[in-house]
């Protein structure tokens, strides 16, 4: 019986152990930089001048980067957002801002311009208009053209606080285009590449439909206050 392993065998075993340790370290460091909630960045999007729902003194800020033309954003608004409102916004723990993303081209731009113009005219009317415009997004063929000046004015006429004549000329003059451009700069700065993207303070939530991850990021942020 051979009592001693050959030197070659020992070298192979040592090599395997080293490789295993390296793999282990790589996995651990990946887990550190990316938690189950999502990627943490050094800062959070500034929300000054952005439509914001909830108590302005709320300790945690949740930002949605969204697009009126994006079907997933509409679904997020009906499936996830009401839970956030109920659990955190109405309880004064979270304030919520929406930043426009123009991934669907001219219609995204028109919808954003309209929403910014509504916000400028009457901040209180913003969220009702926001919801009403999303409600008009067709459930099928969402790529077909539906955000038109006529549609916007039709939606706006259903929101009592909006002066539609004033809105029409604001859209024609592009008077709030600077706000739309400001949002686009934030999209670039925060490397938003899908909509909706949800950020809780400085944490980009990996899966915006994972409400548990959103909750956990909020609870984490609340704990730090």
Contacts of residue 192, defined as CB under 8 A and 6 or more positions apart, other chains included, come to 65, 101, 186
Task: Determine the residue with CB nearest Ca ion.
Answer: 183
Choose one: 17-25, 43-51, 122-130, 184-192; the region binding Ca ion (CB under 5 A).
43-51
* Torsion 109-112-116-118 (CA) sign: positive
Q: Which of 183, 192, 201, 205 binds Ca ion (CB under 5 A)?
A: 183
Helix axes 71-79, 126-135, angle to 10 degrees: 120
| CA–CA distances in Å: residue 48 to residues 56, 138, 179 | 11, 32, 11
Tell me the per-residue interface mask from 161 to 180 with Ca ion, x by CB under 5 A, - otherwise: ------------------x-
First to last CA, the chain: 67
Pairing of strands 94-100, 60-66: parallel
128 lines the binding site for Ca ion (CB under 5 A): no
Tell me the per-residue interface mask from 50 to 89 with Ca ion, x by CB under 5 A, - otherwise: x---------------------------------------
Nearer residue to Ca ion within complex by CB, 37 or 183: 183
Q: Alpha-carbon distance 206 to 222, whole Å?
A: 19
- Least distance from Ca ion to the Cβ atom of residue 116, Å: 6
Tell me the per-residue interface mask from 95 to 124 with Ca ion, x by CB under 5 A, - otherwise: ------------------------------
Nearer residue to Ca ion within complex by CB, 89 or 99: 99
- Least distance from Ca ion to the Cβ atom of residue 179, Å: 5
Which of 107, 115, 110, 99 minimizes the C-alpha distance to 66?
99
# binding residues, Ca ion (CB under 5 A) = 3
- Residue 196: is the preceding peptide bond cis (ω within 30°)? yes
Choose one: 61-69, 142-150, 169-177, 182-190; the region binding Ca ion (CB under 5 A).
182-190
Binding site for Ca ion (CB under 5 A): 50, 179, 183
């Amino acid at each position: 019986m051979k009592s001693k392993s050959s030197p070659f065998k020992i070298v192979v075993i040592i090599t395997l152990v080293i490789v295993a340790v390296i793999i282990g370290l790589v996995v651990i460091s990946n887990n550190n930089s990316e938690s189950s909630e999502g990627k943490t960045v050094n800062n959070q999007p500034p929300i000054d001048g952005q439509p914001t729902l909830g108590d302005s003194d709320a300790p945690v800020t949740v930002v949605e980067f969204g697009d009126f033309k994006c079907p997933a954003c509409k679904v997020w608004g009906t499936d996830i957002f009401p839970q956030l409102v109920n659990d955190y916004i109405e309880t004064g723990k979270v304030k919520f801002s929406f930043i426009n993303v123009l991934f669907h081209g001219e219609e995204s731009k028109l919808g954003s311009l309209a929403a910014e113009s509504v916000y400028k005219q009457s901040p209180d009317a913003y969220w009702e208009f926001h919801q009403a415009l999303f409600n008009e997004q067709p459930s099928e063929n969402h790529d077909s053209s539906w955000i038109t000046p006529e549609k916007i004015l039709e939606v706006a006429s259903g929101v009592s606080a909006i002066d539609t004549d004033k809105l029409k000329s604001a859209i024609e003059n592009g008077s709030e285009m600077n706000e739309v451009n400001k949002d686009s700069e934030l999209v670039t700065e925060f490397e938003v590449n899908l909509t909706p993207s949800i950020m809780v303070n400085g944490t980009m939530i990996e899966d915006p439909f994972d409400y548990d991850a959103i909750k956990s990021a909020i609870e984490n942020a609340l704990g730090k206050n």
